[in-house]
Amino acid sequence: MPQLPVIDGFEFARSGSRQSGDCAAKDFRRLLGALYAPEGTIHYELQGLPQELGRPALRLSVTGRLQLICQRCLGPLQFELRSATQLLLFAEDAELAAVPIEAEGPERIVASRDMSVLDLVEDEVLLAVPYAPRHEQCTTRDGHAPDAPQRPFAGLRALLGGKH
C-alpha cells in the first residue's frame, strides 16, 4: 500500500501549497462501519492559506461516491460526497482552547510538522456522511426499521477537536 503523505501544517499554509490525490474508501478505518461495501475512491484537494481570519489555515475539499447503509432497510445507499471545509491551524491545545468556540465558522485543529493527510481527509469525510442515511423509498420488501434513529458519528466533531 502506498504511504500517504504527511504535511507540515504551518509550512504548508504559509507557502500556500496545494496538493490533491485520491484515497481508497477501504483505507478509512473509522469510516468502514458506515459503509455497505468498502468500495469507492475519495478525491481530495488541500490548499494552504497563509492568512485566513488572521491565521494560517488549510482548505480541504473531498468528493466521491460511497455506498452507505440505509438505516431503514439496511440495504446499500448511494451517497454523493461533496464537502469542503476550512481548518484554522493552532500551535498547541492550550492556544486552541483559549479561543471561544463558535457554532458556525471554520473548524480549528492543532497543527504539527507531520500531519497525516489521510487522517485529515477521513475526518472531513466522517463529518460529511449523514448520521442516519435512509432511502427515500426502500425497495427491499423485508426491510426492518431500527427502533431509534442511529447516529454512529454523533459527538464526533467534539472528539476530533483535540486529536491533532
- The contact set with Zn ion (CB under 5 A) reads 70, 72-73, 135, 138
* Min CB(134)–Zn ion separation in Å: 6
Q: In terms of CB distance, is 59 or 134 closer to Zn ion?
A: 134
Q: In terms of CB distance, is 70 or 109 closer to Zn ion?
A: 70
* Min CB(73)–Zn ion separation in Å: 3
Q: What is the three-state SS of the chain?
A: CCCCCEECHHHHHHCCCEEEEEEEHHHCCCCHHHECCCCCEEEEEEEEEEEECCEEEEEEEEEEEEEEECCCCCCEEEEEEEEEEEEEEECCHHHHHCCCCCCCCCEEEECCCCEEHHHHHHHHHHHHCCCCCCCCCCCCCCCCCCCCCCCCCCCHHHHHHCCC
Q: In terms of CB distance, is 138 or 156 closer to Zn ion?
A: 138
The neighbouring-strand residues paired with 120 are none
* Min CB(118)–Zn ion separation in Å: 30
* Min CB(32)–Zn ion separation in Å: 20
Q: In terms of CB distance, is 65 or 135 closer to Zn ion?
A: 135
